[in-house]
Chain A
Amino acid sequence: MFKKFSPSTDIAGQTPPKSSVQRSIRAAVLQQWKIGPETLEEIWPKKDTLIHVKCREHISIYTIQSVPLFFQHFDGPFYPTLRLLYQYPFLLPKVGVDRGAIRFLLAGAPMMCPGLTSTGGYLPPPEEALPKGTVVAVHAEGKEHAVGVGITELGTEEMRRVNKDVAVEIVAHLGDDLWALQTL
């Protein structure tokens, strides 16, 4: 999503949203991510106002004190920024990819099933199967830190069965233009 993003041309406006909207965002974030309310309080204190940065193609980035924290496309699920994910790795469920796939992901390619089902990849076991449309952290074989944030196009059980085509659409990865933005 942030393959080509330059703050000078792609930002339409920055406004603080209404507090009712802020409360609904807070509730949605608590529900979607594996986070407890006290930890969210650390990242986003009640007193601080969120700033809503509108970008092209209906992408909204939310920042606290000029640091981007999470973003969404249209009214879709909230994705944490990679930097936030590094600080709190438990936010999202993990899937793992093969070492050979890393360089393609870093160039922005979507994640294909074989990368997840091969020996180097990791998919959560059937008891914790993830449905289609879950926001996940994409980890790489042998690495501590996530390569990127994505959303599953197929359920994990389907991925194991079908083993073809796109498994996870990568929304943000290490080294994209969102990564380059430390403050907004």
Chain B
Amino acid sequence: MSSSDQQEPQPVRPLQVIYCQICTFPPEYCEFGSSLTRCKEWLQGANSQLFDKYYSDEALQSKIGTLSLEAQAKLEKDTAKKEAKAEAKADAALKKKMASQVSIKRIERNKRKHVTAIHGLEAFDVDLKKASKFLAQKFATGASVTKNAQGLDEIVVQGDVSGDVLELIEGGAGPLKGVPADNVVIIEEKKKKTQE
């Protein structure tokens, strides 16, 4: 780098932007997301300076800006409604997750060969690809992720490993963690699985 080049303009440094941990927006936009109360709590704990900047009384006054009083009130009501709806949806999703089952099916392929199909791991945030690789390694057989007739993803493991899979899930090994033990159910199926 020649020092004689003193006219060379310096590159501009990027601005460091803080993003709200709860809703991933910049904190000034949290009011338009669906989790304002949680966002405010987080911001107060994480960066009280910014919190004062956005949520102190003077800031709230100046924010009303050019909107008339009724328009502002309506805006606030709408955002509160949206937040309540989002909370209700999150609760419903959580409840569904608790109720959803992981089903392990043992399906007959030929007269003495079976495959094991595991359904429903998606509801528990299990990475299916990683899980299928893990299972294949464990049992030294083939395992794959396929979409079945209902459109749900399932892991298919060659051979009859249903009992072992049940233990693994209950133990919460590797990528299978996070599945509560009572949600697992074994089903026996006498189906002729078609050969590809």
Contact = CB atoms under 8 A, between A and B. Distances in A.
Given A36-B9, A144-B28, A103 B75 contact: yes
Given A144-B28, A174-B29, A99 B67 contact: yes
B14 A42 contact: yes
Interface residues of A, number: 31
Interface string B1-18: 000000011111011110
B32 A145 contact: no
B175 interface: no
Nearest to B78: A103
B71 A175 contact: no
Interface string A89-103: 110000000111011
Interface stretch (B58-66, B107-115, B117-125, B185-193): B58-66
Q: How large is the interface on B (under 10, 10 to 19, 20 to 34, 35 or more residues)?
A: 20 to 34
Given A86-B17, A88-B14, A174 B25 contact: yes
Where chain B touches its partner, the secondary structure class is: loop
B48 interface: no
Contacts of B26: 86, 144-145, 174
B178 interface: no
Contacts of A145: 17, 26, 28-29
Interface string B45-75: 0000000000000000011011100010001
Given A100-B71, A103-B32, A180-B24, 16 more contacts: A36-B11, A36-B12, A42-B11, A86-B17, A86-B26, A87-B16, A98-B66, A102-B32, A103-B75, A106-B29, A141-B65, A141-B66, A142-B62, A144-B26, A174-B26, A179-B24
Interface of A: 36, 38-39, 41-43, 83, 86-90, 98-100, 102-103, 106, 118-120, 141-145, 147, 174-175, 179-180
